[in-house]
Each structure stands twice: as C-alpha cells, then as structure tokens.
Amino acid sequence: MSTEYAILLPGDESKWSSATPEDQAAMYAKHNQFMQLLAERGHTMAGGAELTPSKSAQVVRGSLDTVTVTDGPYAETVEQLTGFYLVSTENLDDLLNVCGILAGDGAVEVRATVVHEGM
C-alpha cells in the first residue's frame, strides 16, 4: 500500500534571488531530474509547488471571524520553506535516496502525511 509523503524544501531565499540565470537553470534541472527519477523508480508525484518569497506571506492568528493578520513569514529565520512535493510511494528508502538530488549540500525534510479514515 502506498503512503503519501511531503518533501519540504527549505532554503535561503537571498541566495536564490541573487543567483545567476545559469545557477537558477541548474537548480531547475535538478528538480527535473528528481521528477524523472521518481517516475522511473515507480514513485507517483501527487502534487507540489514552488512558493513565493516568505516576505509575501501573511500570518493569521485568532479564531473564525476574529483574526489578526500580519505580513511576513511565521518564523524569522534565514531558511524558509521555498517549496514542496507530495509523492506517493511504497518504497520510502528509495524515495529518500532520490531526495538526495534535492538535498545537495543542504537538507530536505520528508514526512508522511496523515490519513484520517472516513475523510
């Protein structure tokens, strides 16, 4: 039975914004290679997206109809969540190996999603 995993991609947004077009193209090539290997190895891409810069985030606090909204990221850190993939697989070990393409000199976080019965 397949399990769905979220692959969370943290990164230093300042490095991306100052990267040359060649460096950006190389990063996109890594992501294309990642997606190709997923398909070749029997993993199923269920979704994912690159996120806008964290400075465009809006943080919501409060309860229904009584919220306070502030601009900027939830956490004040150098690394922010820059994107994610949702991947369905029966072979977590292989998925983790394929994620090494994206980790490079940094890290990615892989977490199983929670499935609630009847939802």
Confidence category of residue 15, pLDDT binned at 50, 70, 90: confident
Return mean pLDDT, the chain: 93
The pLDDT of residue 106 is: 87
Kind of pairing between the strands at 58-63 and 109-112: unpaired
- 21 has a pLDDT exceeding 90: yes
Structural domain boundaries in the chain: 3-112
- 116 has a pLDDT exceeding 80: yes
The DSSP letter of residue 54 is: G
Q: What is the pLDDT of residues 68-108, one digit of tens each?
A: 999 988 777 778 899 999 999 999 999 999 999 999 878 99
pTM: 0.87
The pLDDT of residue 76 is: 75
The pLDDT of residue 16 is: 86
Which of these CATH numbers, 3.50.50.60, 3.90.550.10, 3.40.50.2300, 3.30.70.1060, describes 3-112? 3.30.70.1060
The pLDDT of residue 29 is: 96
Residue 69 β-bridge partners: 60
Beta strands in the chain (DSSP E): 3-12, 44-50, 58-63, 66-71, 79-89, 109-112
